[in-house]
Amino acid sequence: MDGGFMPSRRGGAAVGMLDELPAIEAGAVVALRLACAPMSDPARRDFSRLPGGRAAIDALCQMADVCATFGRRPLMHHALTCRCLGGDEACLAQIVAAVLAGDRDDAMALACLMARADLAPVLVSHAERAGVALSRMAAAPAHETDHGAGAATLH
């Protein structure tokens, strides 16, 4: 240890695995990661084409912006292909899940962990939009979410 300043990576600590989350929460984490990816990223473009995909990314991007500007510390996230679930990612996913379940008080309490208390309603509002968009994606028929598959030839 050289005695120099080490930035906190506390919010990036793995707290679980992405595949252990319910669909909406996992979608929120993926949308957050994509919101932090370059606009030209093919995965971001593909996700945006899904029903509710663009709205989910936009809402999580706005949540990330609030956290970046008014957060208690820098927002941490894992790489798109990482199977781990980071602490900050888990918290944002729980805000989305809580507000979608109608637990606005819980969502507000969780939002206060991420940003100043006066910005909690803003985070919850963005989380609500993300939750609605992700619900739309989860409810879409398979043919609406499978853009890569054409008609299969049987013979």
- pLDDT of 128 reads 97
Label residue 3 by pLDDT band (50, 70, 90). Answer: very low
Residues 59-109 pLDDT 10s: 999 999 999 999 988 888 888 899 999 999 999 999 999 999 999 999 999
Cα separation, 44 vs 36, in Å, equals: 10
Residues 15-48 pLDDT 10s: 889 899 999 999 999 999 999 988 899 999 999 9
Label residue 6 by pLDDT band (50, 70, 90). Answer: very low
What percentage of residues in the chain have a pLDDT greater than 70?
A: 85
Phi and psi at residue 36, in whole multiples of 5°?
-90, -5
Cα separation, 34 vs 36, in Å, equals: 5
Residues 143-153 pLDDT 10s: 555 544 443 33
